[in-house]
Chains A and B, each alone.
Chain A
Amino acid sequence: GAVVSQHPSRVICKSGTSVKIECRSLDFQATTMFWYRQFPKKSLMLMATSNEGSKATYEQGVEKDKFLINHASLTLSTLTVTSAHPEDSSFYICSASPGGNTIYFGEGSWLTVV
């Protein structure tokens, strides 16, 4: 079964509204989680590193005010797309590691902004 759960798997929101995507580690604690975005037929682009109890680290070119990341507990990180626009429509996926070489990925979340 899944050890990293993302919710919702699909969401449609109106332009200008905000939408939250959750990433949960089910069987382990993760001090660090990662958020990725995938453009059509492209690879997964690392957006940011979510750090429990501290600010997220964003990759160059990713708007921190647009993509708010909160890692309030050792099992939950959230990505909030604020004032969403159609160009934010994408596939978002998170990952978490219990340590060592093991990395688990969520099943991803489809965001459609209309």
Chain B
Amino acid sequence: SQELEQSPQSLIVQEGKNLTINCTSSKTLYGLYWYKQKYGEGLIFLMMLQKGGEEKSHEKITAKLDEKKQQSSLHITASQPSHAGIYLCGADWNTGNQFYFGTGTSLTVIP
């Protein structure tokens, strides 16, 4: 069952613009992961958040997990064409249990 909702479903931005992708869980998360993918290719791990209120950054990408551990956002600053792809959040709700992905967000960056 799909318990992770992402928004927006797709996003088209001009190069240089900032953007935010959201991932919402119906219940408290144990761990929240962000991945990037080109459809039909392997996953690129971006970040993992576990603590409420946690925030991590890597290059121009910042991910946050809210205090209740039910919502995460991924923010890209000054987007570039190389940022284009499908962004997936993934989560488990108890360690060792099934790992589910969010509904996905397709990002297009126009040069």
Contacts and interface: CB of A to CB of B under 8 A. Distances in A.
Range of interface residues on A (Cβ < 8 Å)? 20 to 34
B94 to A, nearest CB: 12
Interface stretch (B40-48, B57-65, B73-81): B40-48
Interface string B69-111: 0000000000000000010101000011011111110100000
B101 A100 contact: no
A67 to B, nearest CB: 16
Contacts of B1: 59-60
A42 B104 contact: yes
B40 A34 contact: no
Contact of B104 (A43, A57, A59, A103): A43
Range of interface residues on B (Cβ < 8 Å)? 20 to 34
Contacts of A106: 42
B42 A107 contact: yes
A38 B41 CA distance: 10
B99 A46 contact: yes
Contact of A95 (B88, B99, B102, B103): B99
B101 A46 contact: yes
Nearest to A32: B96
Interface of A: 32, 34, 36, 38, 40-46, 49, 57, 59-60, 91, 93, 95, 97, 100-101, 103, 105-108, 110
Q: Which 10 A-B pairs have the closest CB atoms?
A: A43-B104, A107-B42, A44-B101, A105-B43, A91-B40, A43-B101, A43-B103, A101-B31, A46-B100, A108-B42
